[in-house]
């Protein structure tokens, strides 16, 4: 996707956007062989951008971390594999570069997703070996019993094997529905929905609000932002990243 030249230059470490606007205005930038102008946009994967005769390159070490509120009805994939014209999470972030979602939320679920180009962090967040908490707020149909919740907490058989223990807190309960907050340390396909249905209390709404130390915060459906430096450090620390690696990485953050 195309971005304004001054933004690309800032990402490449050539100063602030205001500084780069002055460089562009001075005629020192060429876009695909011609002198660039303020307002020009480029896609670094397609277009050739030169500053003072040198090709602009975004560092391969520059890691991008974005938190997104995935709305209901959007699939957490980089493409619509079924070719049905469905909206995908990548459509919600009009920024260039190869970023991908960490883990998944089914189409009818919503809430926190992490988008990044950091392969090692993605591996540690999704591999069962590196168990981490994911917190969901779930509205169930009807009034689920204490016995069912206790069984759910201890583990139930799903796909011929027992699920890991889950922390479940009842937030509110009425005859019509039960609102719970559930913390999981594993991620099987549609796990919460399938278990709830087995107990006879289908999910009416499911929102993921936390992934490890990362919180949804005040984001609204469809909104996103770059993680700040503190959030990145907390995320890496929670995944036990090697200290040396942390020092080498360059981040794109607020």
Domain of 15: which CATH number?
Answer: 3.10.290.10
Closest CA to 158 of 108, 193, 125, 130: 193
Do 41 and 10 reside in the same domain of the chain?
A: yes
Do 189 and 71 reside in the same domain of the chain?
A: no
Per-residue pLDDT of the chain (254 residues; tens, 9 = 90+): 688 898 888 766 666 778 789 999 999 999 999 999 999 998 876 788 999 988 886 655 578 899 999 999 999 987 776 677 789 998 999 877 678 888 889 999 999 999 988 777 887 787 777 778 999 999 999 999 999 999 999 999 999 999 999 999 999 999 999 999 999 998 888 999 999 999 999 999 999 999 999 999 999 999 999 999 899 999 888 877 554 444 344 455 55
Q: Quick one: tokens of 79?
A: 């493409």
Do 115 and 233 reside in the same domain of the chain?
A: yes
Question: Which CATH number covers residue 124?
Answer: 3.30.70.580
Q: What is the pLDDT of residue 13?
A: 62
Do 126 and 241 reside in the same domain of the chain?
A: yes
Query: What residues contact 248, with CB distance under 8 A and at least 6 apart?
Result: 61
Query: What residues contact 246, with CB distance under 8 A and at least 6 apart?
Result: 233, 236
Q: What is the pLDDT of residue 244?
A: 41
Residues 159-176 have pLDDT tens digits of 999 999 999 999 999 999
Do 102 and 48 reside in the same domain of the chain?
A: no
Residues spanned by the domain of 166 = 133-211
Query: What residues contact 126, with CB distance under 8 A and at least 6 apart?
Result: 102, 103, 187
Euclidean distance between CA atoms 172 and 240, whole angstroms:
36
Euclidean distance between CA atoms 9 and 51, whole angstroms:
9
Indicate which residues carry an active-site annotation.
106
Do 113 and 230 reside in the same domain of the chain?
A: yes
- Which of the listed residues 55, 70, 86 is the one where a domain comes to its end? 55
Number of domains in the chain: 3
Enter the pTM of the model. Answer: 0.71
């Amino acid at each position: 996707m195309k971005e304004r030249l001054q933004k690309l230059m800032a990402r490449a470490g050539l100063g602030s956007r205001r500084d780069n606007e002055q460089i562009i205005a001075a005629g020192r930038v060429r876009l695909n062989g011609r002198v660039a102008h303020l307002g020009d946009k480029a896609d670094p994967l397609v277009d050739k951008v030169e500053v003072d005769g040198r090709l602009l390159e975004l560092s391969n070490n520059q890691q991008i971390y974005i938190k997104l509120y995935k709305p209901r009805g959007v699939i957490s994939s980089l493409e619509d594999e079924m070719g049905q014209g469905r909206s995908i999470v990548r459509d919600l972030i009009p920024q260039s570069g190869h970023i991908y979602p960490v883990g998944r939320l089914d189409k009818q679920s919503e809430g926190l997703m992490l988008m990044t180009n950091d392969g090692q962090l993605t591996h540690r967040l999704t591999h069962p070996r590196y168990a981490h908490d994911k917190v969901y707020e779930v509205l169930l149909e009807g009034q689920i019993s204490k016995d069912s919740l206790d069984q759910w907490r201890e583990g139930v058989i799903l796909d011929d094997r027992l699920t890991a223990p889950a922390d479940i807190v009842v937030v509110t309960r009425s005859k019509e529905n039960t609102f719970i907050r559930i913390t999981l340390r594993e991620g099987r396909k549609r796990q919460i929905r399938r278990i709830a249905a087995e107990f006879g209390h289908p999910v009416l709404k499911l929102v993921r609000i936390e992934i490890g130390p990362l919180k949804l915060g005040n984001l609204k459906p469809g909104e996103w932002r770059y993680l700040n430096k503190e959030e990145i450090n907390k995320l890496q620390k929670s995944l036990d990243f090697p200290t040396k690696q942390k020092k080498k990485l360059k981040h794109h953050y607020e």
